Structure 1
Amino acid sequence: MSAKFPSHVTGLAGGVLLLALGAPVLAQISWSEKLSGQDASTTGEQQTQVDEIDRDEIQRSQAEAWGLTDQEWSRYQKLKDRPRGTWSPDLDPITMLGIEARSEAERRHYAELLVEQQRKRVERELAFQKAYDDAWQRLYPDESRVNFFALGRSPSAQSLLSTDTAGPSRYNVVVALEDCSRCDTEVQRLLDQGALMDIWVVDSDGDDDAIRQWATEVGIPADRVRQGQVTLNHGGQLSVSEDALPRIMPRG
């Protein structure tokens, strides 16, 4: 004859049994959730590390493109968050670092670096302009050429200068000292328009005095040169025919 437990004992035992059976299940769910949370945390940390590596690589690539070190690029980024970044938000990295230089040696370093950058830029633009001119001559020899970005004396140059509402434009201007009255006329016109210029002289032979004398004769104000509104540069290494001068290219 089987023993019968009182109903209140049976219920209690059943409850204990259910709790005992359920305990491992609850423990398993809790442990699974914990593992899941750890996995998510680990994935998030790994993604953050990947993002940081990508960002560092991008910044290093940008710094190299401007000829700057990682430290110089980092200082440029900080300067953008300071008053200079508000006053001059569109400055290129080298110019911003040069303006905010902490010593005369640093200022000179950035000035020379910018000259080299601009010289390379002018060379590339002139090379492409020549390729463009040659292509036009091959494809449409009987039609008047439409200038690409070497504006010269075209009406588009006048239009760009006179309708610029954001302030004076800046141009790379390639000229010759000898036998180029067109060069003198164009420089004078740009001066009258208030344009900012980086002038490159292809036949100066490294003679600073020859450039200074030419600038005086053309009427370039010395104070505009001192203020950096107009710069005078030797351009003997530029690949451009003197017959195609002057070359006037807006700086982007």
Structure 2
Amino acid sequence: MTEQRPLEQVEFAHTRDQLTKAWGLTAQEVERYEILMRGPRGAFSVTNISPIEVLGIHAETPAERQHYADRFVRLLYEDTERVLAFERATQAAWRRLGKPMFEAARLPGASAPLSSNRDQLWGKRLALFVATQDCPRCAKSARELVDLVADGGPLSGLDIYAVDTQDPDAIRTFARDVGVLPGAVSDRRVTLNQGKALFQQYDGDDRGLPQVFVRDGTQLRPLDTVAGALR
């Protein structure tokens, strides 16, 4: 007769199987991760921290720490490639279908700028258009906004659009230089995107970079200024 297992055991086994397949973990790594998450790490960390990060943070030797760091970076690289590939496909779809990215009435200038009062922007997500090269103002503004997306910051997220390059390495380098952390990318608080086609949908004048907008439902509302706008 087939042994009947309690539902809790079935669900627990299913979760372990998912961890093993999704993150490439061994049974021993899954067990150590679960033990760590039942301790202080589970209380201190965000709920969506990855098993690789947990194991790396609690590595017992420098070699083990480097091993998990290498695995984590490879996973982030692969995910960034997928995100950028989908962004390229999305932009191509907009061009192929001949649809405007935004309704004309909702383009910059048609919506009143939001107040620069920090409290009114709590929980909002920003879209920032930058040039990755020869634009000190872009880097400065990106650093300020990245800081505001950190844990405890007022912003829920930041979508960075590079308008001067389609090179994923150049976009990643810019992000690293302005302080974007791998964890912020993995949990989608910050996204890195090719933005030239999108930028041309409603502006296209890169002499005015950086440009920052607040996502407000289906609208993008421009801020009066970027640097210091949320102070």
- How many Å apart are 1:187 and its aligned residue? 2.2
1:132 to 90, 98, 105: 90
Q: Which residue of 2 aligns with 1:11?
A: none
Q: Which residue of 2 aligns with 1:152?
A: none
- CA contact 1:174–1:201 (8 Å) conserved in 2: no
Whether 1:98 and 2:98 are equivalent positions in the alignment is no
- CA contact 1:98–1:107 (8 Å) conserved in 2: yes
CA separation in 2, counterparts of 1:47 and 1:181? 65
Q: Which residue of 2 aligns with 1:184?
A: 139
Q: Structure 1 residues 70 and 121, CA, compared in 2 at 3 Å: closer, same or farther? A: same
Q: Which residue of 1 aligns with 2:43?
A: 86
- How many Å apart are 1:66 and its aligned residue? 0.9
Map 1:15-164; keep pairs closer than 5 Å.
46-48=3-5, 55-56=12-13, 58-90=15-47, 91-141=49-99, 143-145=100-102, 162-164=121-123
Secondary structure class of the residue paired with 1:48: coil
Larger radius of gyration: 1
CA separation in 2, counterparts of 1:164 and 1:97? 31
- Whichever residue aligns with residue 187 of structure 1, its letter is A
Structure 2 runs not aligned, ≥5 long: 104-112, 152-157, 161-166, 183-192, 200-209, 211-231
CA separation in 1, counterparts of 2:130 and 2:74? 18
Identity %: 32
Higher relative contact order (CA 8 A, sep 6+): 2
- Whichever residue aligns with residue 90 of structure 2, its letter is Y
Equivalenced residue count is: 163
TM-score (norm 1): 0.47
Q: Which residue of 2 aligns with 1:207?
A: none
Q: Structure 1 residues 182 and 145, CA, compared in 2 at 3 Å: closer, same or farther? A: farther
Secondary structure class of the residue paired with 1:123: helix
CA separation in 1, counterparts of 2:147 and 2:34? 36
Alpha-carbon RMSD across the aligned residues, in angstroms, is: 4.8
Q: Structure 1 residues 65 and 230, CA, compared in 2 at 3 Å: closer, same or farther? A: closer
TM-score (norm 2): 0.50
